[in-house]
Structure 1
Amino acid sequence: MQRSHERILTTHTGSLPRPPALTKLYAMRSRGEAVDSTEIDRAGHAALQEIVPRQVEAGIDIGNNGEQQREGFFLHVRHRMTGFGGSWKRWPRADVENYPIFKRSMELQNASKDMVSNFAPPKVIGDISYVGAAEATRECTDFREVLESRRRAGKRSFVEAFLTAPSPGIVVTAIRNEHYDTEDAYLAAVGRALQVEYEAIATQGFLLQLDCPDLALEHHISFRDRPLRDFLGFVERVVATINDALRNIPREKVRMHVCWGNYEGPHDRDVALEEILPLIARMNVGALVLPFANPRHAHEVRCLQGRTIADDQVVVAGVIDSTTNFVEHPEVVAERLERVARTLDDPARVMAGTDCGFDTSAGAGRVAEDVVWAKLAALSEGARIASTRLF
């Protein structure tokens, strides 16, 4: 894993806007409508070829495939694992439920969009087994081919590349269990299955980013009416499951993203970072990707003080909001990065990132595509400014 030895490196959290035609295909398939799989493959591959140069042009040092060949950050598992079927409606978000006028506004906005919903996932109705190894490998090789093509043409590319995979915790909380006797048995089965995907990414030489919103978000969804200790127990079990699934992958080849949900909302029922950070820092990863542009959590940079995280763990600081169309001023970005560097007392352990992905499931993003690229350009310029002051 690269470090910011001479300047603050830039990255993002994974998902980037998909072309409207590709989004429509994913949305149709998620609704059970007949869709030509070869057309999805073709459109996804074309989108991949476009998304890499856009990131490079925006100044991203450590980029990915934008998750163009997936319908969402975790819902793709239903196409790569056995045991899923039917659907159910996810538990609501506690903060949104407290504000009925806002809730109605959010529902109206989503109703007008062609999108894949994270809140209407399948259920688990049989044994979980990973059968999508070929598809996982193909996603890696497609990405590698695009990168190699740029290299052969003498074009600029990434300093390093990453691919994402979901936490087993988001799968077991979002996909309702109607098969396993216990949650622990379900969690263990998903962990074993996702190990295949984790190792496929690492074997191809990419950084593995684990997307773990469950380690914060589920406090105000699945655990919204339960004591904090129950949620923290869940976090501990998920971290242990992930560590087991990572046993064949070097720590420095993995980074982990956690957040409170990629939506514009009150967020006044969020669990505090200080409650979960000591637990998630036990994950055997080389970097933590944390949201600090979020106005509900920006102050929690101070949680990084002391020895809460290991000395060898990098912090990818979210300094760009992924839920609004404000384009952050580069000076604001620089100030945020400088604060993280001062807190850690080591700018080499800081990277500039986004709070979350911009299109975590196809069509769900709130930020217009052209604004996304302006935000990433501001991220890069802010990192440049901070670098002149820190190095």
Structure 2
Amino acid sequence: MRRSTDEILVSQAGSLPRTPELIEANEQRAEQAARAEKTGVPLTDDYTELLGREVAALVQREKDAGVTVPGDGEYGKSMSSPVDYGAWWSYSFQRLSGLSLGGVDIWKDAEVHRSSPGNVVLTSFSDRRDRQLFHDAYHDPDSGITTGRKAQVFPKCTGKIEYTGQDAIAADTANFVKALDDAGIEEGFMTSLSPGSASRIANEYYDTEDEFMYACADAMREEYKAIIDAGLILQIDDPSIAENFDQINPEPTIEDYLAFTQKRVDALNYALRDLPQDRIRFHLCWGSWHGPHTTDIEMADLVHTMLGINAGAYLFEAGNVRHEHEWRVWDDVELPDDKIIVPGVVSHATNVVEHPDLVADRIERFARRVGRERVIASTDCGLGGRVHPQIAWAKLETLAEGARRATARLWG
């Protein structure tokens, strides 16, 4: 994994805006898949060719914007709408066996669970503490924070979990490797879902939630290996580490939550066993929705748990105004010598495009604490489906310019 040896490198957190052509093709493909299931008529190859062209154009556009460690934009993770908060997760439903539609709208109909001391369980998505505190705002269609909250019917586990996405991940990696080669870029990353997040659906097959989670670990490990074997950097996406805190009622103690979370860390480390840490980066986030986030866990409470994950780099939100102040954590926490950090210094949570001097300030704060060579500048979270494409690309450009200004300060 590259380090910022001569300049502050620039990356992003994963999802980038899909083009109208790709969104339309995703919608048509979903319709074709439904027909194919009924009639047995196979899908056409038009989509595969289009996806390859779209990924190639995206990587070149990232390069032109100043991104030095690009991703594939998660283009292989289907979005059939310009606004989509869940493609990073829901793509796994097509790559795992043992799942069937549960017919439950997670925002309205999901069963509500309650935690107790020493017994932490997730409540429903619709019963998050953040949504309770700001009930009126979340239910006001003009508030601006209900975007993307359309009905979502997610599956449940009713059989043995196994990985079935070999063809999909082979196509994703081939498209991305070719795009990187065509653009003359030496390193890129591809995202994949963690076991802890993959298992955040109803389980009716495995005897325990831990057994279900480890089944997901064994399955997703195949995807992890495929990404690394293709010569790419693997990025693990796992909101379950931080975002779960808001999804537990009543609020647990920090000790109980960390014990609950450590099980998810252990399952992830099990899935990553024997894989090269210097080819793995981990993305921590508090959730991508545009809401108040007053119920987030503090970074200071979670940082050591994060560092216990077997990765060589850690991405986390640092531009989001709810968490920007947490750069001070690194005054007291020593980053291991073989690790780097990839703080988000422009945010997906606002339409305001950050000034490059502010971006440079944010980068410099981290560089002064952990060393300039161990900081890569990034976005807080994925921009695709969260902000307008024109704004997303402006944010990537200001991110790159901010990195150039930080480089001048740090190497000047």
TM-score by length of 1: 0.89
Q: 2:134 matched to which residue of 1?
A: 99
Deviation of residue 226 (structure 1)?
A: 4.1
Which residues of 2 match residues 1-391 of structure 1 at below 5 A? 1-26=1-26, 34=34, 37-38=43-44, 40-71=47-78, 72-87=87-102, 88-90=104-106, 91-92=125-126, 93-105=128-140, 120-150=153-183, 157-173=184-200, 175-222=201-248, 225-344=251-370, 346-359=371-384, 365-391=385-411
Deviation of residue 189 (structure 1)?
A: 0.3
Aligned in 2, Cα 1:206/1:102: closer, same or farther, shift over 3 Å?
Answer: same
Deviations 1:353-390 (A, max 9, x none): 0000012xxxxx23111111111010000000011111
- Residue 319 of structure 1 aligns to a residue whose secondary structure is strand
Q: Aligned residue pairs: how many?
A: 376
Instruction: Show structure 1 runs of 4+ deviating over 3 A.
Output: 24-43, 105-113, 222-230, 306-309
1:223, 1:231 within 8 Å by CA — same for their partners in 2? no
Aligned in 2, Cα 1:142/1:35: closer, same or farther, shift over 3 Å?
Answer: farther
1:25, 1:35 within 8 Å by CA — same for their partners in 2? no
- Residue 317 of structure 1 aligns to a residue whose secondary structure is strand
- Residue 396 of structure 2 aligns to a residue whose secondary structure is helix
Q: 2:122 matched to which residue of 1?
A: none
Aligned in 2, Cα 1:228/1:89: closer, same or farther, shift over 3 Å?
Answer: farther
Deviation of residue 98 (structure 1)?
A: 1.5
2:254, 2:301 within 8 Å by CA — same for their partners in 1? no
1:255, 1:288 within 8 Å by CA — same for their partners in 2? yes
Aligned in 2, Cα 1:222/1:313: closer, same or farther, shift over 3 Å?
Answer: same
Matched residues in 2 for 1:42 and 1:224: separation? 49
Matched residues in 2 for 1:201 and 1:165: separation? 9
Deviation of residue 223 (structure 1)?
A: 5.6
1:28, 1:35 within 8 Å by CA — same for their partners in 2? no
Q: Which residue identity is paired with 1:69?
A: G
Deviations 1:24-75 (A, max 9, x none): 4546777998477545434433321221111011000000111111122121
Matched residues in 2 for 1:30 and 1:94: separation? 34
- Residue 158 of structure 2 aligns to a residue whose secondary structure is strand
- Residue 86 of structure 1 aligns to a residue whose secondary structure is strand
Deviations 1:251-276 (A, max 9, x none): 11100000101122110000111111
Aligned in 2, Cα 1:140/1:104: closer, same or farther, shift over 3 Å?
Answer: same
Q: Which residue identity is paired with 2:256?
A: D
Deviations 1:67-103 (A, max 9, x none): 1111221211111110111133332232123112320
Q: Which residue identity is paired with 2:162?
A: S
Q: Which residue identity is paired with 1:6?
A: D
Aligned in 2, Cα 1:58/1:382: closer, same or farther, shift over 3 Å?
Answer: same
Matched residues in 1 for 2:33 and 2:164: separation? 23
Matched residues in 1 for 2:304 and 2:22: separation? 40
Q: Which residue identity is paired with 2:100?
A: G
Unaligned 5+ runs, structure 1: 151-156, 360-364
Matched residues in 2 for 1:181 and 1:31: separation? 35
Unaligned 5+ runs, structure 2: 37-42, 79-86, 107-124
Deviations 1:107-161 (A, max 9, x none): 8868887x987x53211111100122232122111211222233xxxxxx33421
Matched residues in 2 for 1:96 and 1:103: separation? 6
Q: Which residue identity is paired with 2:383?
A: F
* RMSD value, Cα: 2.4
Q: Which residue identity is paired with 1:78?
A: F
Aligned in 2, Cα 1:107/1:32: closer, same or farther, shift over 3 Å?
Answer: farther
- Residue 235 of structure 2 aligns to a residue whose secondary structure is strand
Matched residues in 2 for 1:223 and 1:137: separation? 40
Q: Which residue identity is paired with 2:156?
A: K
Aligned in 2, Cα 1:107/1:186: closer, same or farther, shift over 3 Å?
Answer: farther
Q: Which residue identity is paired with 1:167?
A: S
Matched residues in 2 for 1:7 and 1:358: separation? 24
Matched residues in 2 for 1:204 and 1:178: separation? 35
Matched residues in 1 for 2:311 and 2:259: separation? 20
- Residue 74 of structure 1 aligns to a residue whose secondary structure is helix
Matched residues in 2 for 1:208 and 1:185: separation? 24
2:10, 2:378 within 8 Å by CA — same for their partners in 1? yes
Aligned in 2, Cα 1:189/1:51: closer, same or farther, shift over 3 Å?
Answer: same
